[in-house]
Structure 1
């Protein structure tokens, strides 16, 4: 923390405390948008309570710094902005801004700046050193594919570690694709790290084994868990079901479903999604759609994966009309119940490609326009197919509108590529 400086000479009055840390002041001078009124602590408070921060950024300034972080593309300026406010509770309590910053630095391939920024967070005296805060740092290192840093941060947790921090470490290693290391860490957790694994830790290991193509080991672990007084929950079974799906082992999938039924375990949305994906993979998407009704009747809300799997299933079967029906059904359900998942970019892209391929150009135009209204740029190939189809069907005005909307939507390096694509159209 940068302390408030009082310059006091005999016979002179005390000067007012600095309102900004030096780094923040420099950044704010360069950007007039950060100007706002500040409310410093009174001198009495500053001298009687040493636990209070001696330099305070107002809430409006913190908000504007966060906004600039979201817009900033230069990695070095991004780190300066972050550090200017990172020791203020209003800032370091914001998980989203941490995630956005690290994601940007990771995309810029600047692990050096990620380490600089997060190390500053760990060592600065103003930031909390709670297990929860350090768990967030571990997770951020995992998202940035820096497993060694995630592990070293776990080692620095001074308080008694709980299974929560073990899960954070295992998840970080999993994000980095370090499957062997996940297994090794799990095995030494109680003996070396002093944390006894629970169901949550087991589920992360089950997922790791399945993602690593070792569903047999995952199934064996599932069967052996009760011997360690750990009863698998529905999430444990879902992990292994996903593993069987990935490896296309239908017999194991069906056997595990039967076991779930015998044990009368309550299925959740992930369980139903596994079943939907299984049926779709076998070309039985109509049956899979019926499960959607079963889910809703049991009070289980479908998520975006539920819908996207059905749309993808119908598209793979060449049934563009049924895929479009599912899309419309999402919005009907959403209007009735706001908790129903919204569509995402994948929904539109898969559906648009299928509709264009099947020459359903009216529906394809609807999906393309909806996609562009959300500021999502569809793949050029699908859009070109749509425009050619509209021209062929004498819908030249609609085709020109799509060209104009695309021209406004594309950014950066894609601008020149789209200009070249426009040359293919004969208006």
Structure 2
């Protein structure tokens, strides 16, 4: 076993078969599970895996029993949920067991390239980039898609130097020609590492050194670097280049979101709102990030009324195949905290109730401020309703902390008991 582990640390020395042995050698031995025989059995198995009460060991055993079924192997959300729960429980040994077992669950041509790319991403999500590298080596023939997936795994685990080194060495070692996607991941890595100058150099050299023309995603990565570095002049210059004769690219929602973020960072959130309105006219529907960026900017500038008005527009914004953009937890929290700080308790109550209807418990401090404000406004009934709704929404270990908040309003709860 020790010699196998040593080889796994040097995957360039291994054949595809030996790499598979390496992955399988990391398995934790589990009870041999019964295999579901009917669709109903498989459905019950999936429900058991989704059940939060299922222990990590039981989850892994259930997972292994589902692997012979193609429908189970194709269930991407269930794979992601299982890996997330096992990794969150600190059981990376079980992550290795279930994912490595999935490699041998079906006969050839399984595992396909697409399935291997999924495993690279899943190992990355579990914080196991070394396993991502081993799976990358299983892709045959080596491909630019696999290289992009590996670089993304390194990026997501903040292994920026390792990603740059992989981009420089693996293509030559394995005969891969890096394409647009892998170049864009490289730009993302360099920007995340803070080396915007290196990112811009790589961006400028793409056509000559790789025969690849930067696209709007490439430009957005460089814009993000300039935004993070506070280089407004370089940011504005590249924005002009994007639609100019040099590049002739169409800005996408990411481009607009970055432009709005820059305006908001300069205290110009109303201009950002105007840009948000212009997006639809230019055939680029705003997304949730667009609204959250401007709402946050308006709240930071104390323009809470304008932020609330923009929030109310979200369900009506036209989109390509539908209408409306749904708020998320971040949207509600930004608004609730800003409204409470401004003593605007009626709209804050509206936001809080909507947040709770979505089964999201807002930050306790903001809710406490809302309840205090409602009491001062002689709206004890609404304050009590908020407390009771929070009691239902708060889960897990947070319940004890919430009880401490409730204890500060004994008369409200005493009235309820009476």
Candidates 136, 141, 145, aligned match of 1:154: 136
Candidates 256, 273, 279, aligned match of 2:263: 279
How far did residue 74 of structure 1 move? 1.1
**TM-score (structure 2 length as normaliser):** 0.87
Question: Does the alignment pair 1:266 with 2:250?
Answer: yes
Question: Does the alignment pair 1:224 with 2:183?
Answer: no
Residue of structure 1 equivalent to 2:399:
415
**Distance in 2 of aligned mates of 1:334 and 1:261:** 24
How far did residue 336 of structure 1 move? 10
Residue of structure 1 equivalent to 2:357:
373
**Distance in 1 of aligned mates of 2:144 and 2:373:** 57
> Structure 1, unaligned stretches of length 5 or more?
1-21, 26-54
Residue of structure 2 equivalent to 1:183:
164
Candidates 94, 101, 113, aligned match of 2:82: 101
Q: Larger radius of gyration, structure 1 or 2?
A: 1
**Distance in 2 of aligned mates of 1:285 and 1:337:** 28
Cα-to-partner distance string for 1:134-173 (whole Å, 9 max, x where unaligned): 111111011111111100111122x212211111111111
Root-mean-square deviation (Å)? 1.7
Candidates 377, 381, 384, aligned match of 1:400: 384
Residue of structure 2 equivalent to 1:382:
366
**Distance in 2 of aligned mates of 1:58 and 1:136:** 26
**Distance in 2 of aligned mates of 1:340 and 1:269:** 15
Conserved 8 A contact 2:42-2:66: yes
Output aligned runs, 1:125-140, within 5 Å.
125-126=106-107, 128-140=110-122
> Counterpart of 1:123 in 2: which secondary structure?
coil
**Distance in 2 of aligned mates of 1:93 and 1:369:** 38
Cα-to-partner distance string for 1:65-90 (whole Å, 9 max, x where unaligned): 11221114411111011111112101
Structure 1 stretch displaced more, 313-322 or 261-270: 261-270
Conserved 8 A contact 2:124-2:132: yes
Candidates 28, 49, 55, aligned match of 1:69: 49
Conserved 8 A contact 1:24-1:85: no
Candidates 145, 153, 158, aligned match of 1:164: 145
Residue of structure 2 equivalent to 1:247:
229
Aligned residues between the structures:
376
**TM-score (structure 1 length as normaliser):** 0.85
Residue of structure 2 equivalent to 1:323:
307
**Distance in 2 of aligned mates of 1:422 and 1:353:** 19
> Structure 2, unaligned stretches of length 5 or more?
1-30, 413-418
**Distance in 2 of aligned mates of 1:244 and 1:375:** 38
Conserved 8 A contact 2:339-2:345: yes
Question: Does the alignment pair 1:60 with 2:44?
Answer: no
How far did residue 292 of structure 1 move? 1.3
Conserved 8 A contact 2:226-2:235: yes
Conserved 8 A contact 1:150-1:172: yes
Candidates 198, 202, 221, aligned match of 2:179: 198
How far did residue 389 of structure 1 move? 0.2
Candidates 331, 340, 348, aligned match of 2:332: 348
**Distance in 1 of aligned mates of 2:48 and 2:323:** 31
Which aligned segments of 4 or more residues in structure 1 are displaced greater than 4 angstroms?
A: 334-337
For residues 115 and 336 of structure 1, do their structure 2 counterparts lie closer, same or farther at Cα, with a shift above 3 Å needed? closer
Cα-to-partner distance string for 1:179-200 (whole Å, 9 max, x where unaligned): 1111111112321122110010
How far did residue 334 of structure 1 move? 6.3
Residue of structure 1 equivalent to 2:9:
none
For residues 143 and 398 of structure 1, do their structure 2 counterparts lie closer, same or farther at Cα, with a shift above 3 Å needed? same
For residues 336 and 190 of structure 1, do their structure 2 counterparts lie closer, same or farther at Cα, with a shift above 3 Å needed? closer
Conserved 8 A contact 2:316-2:325: no
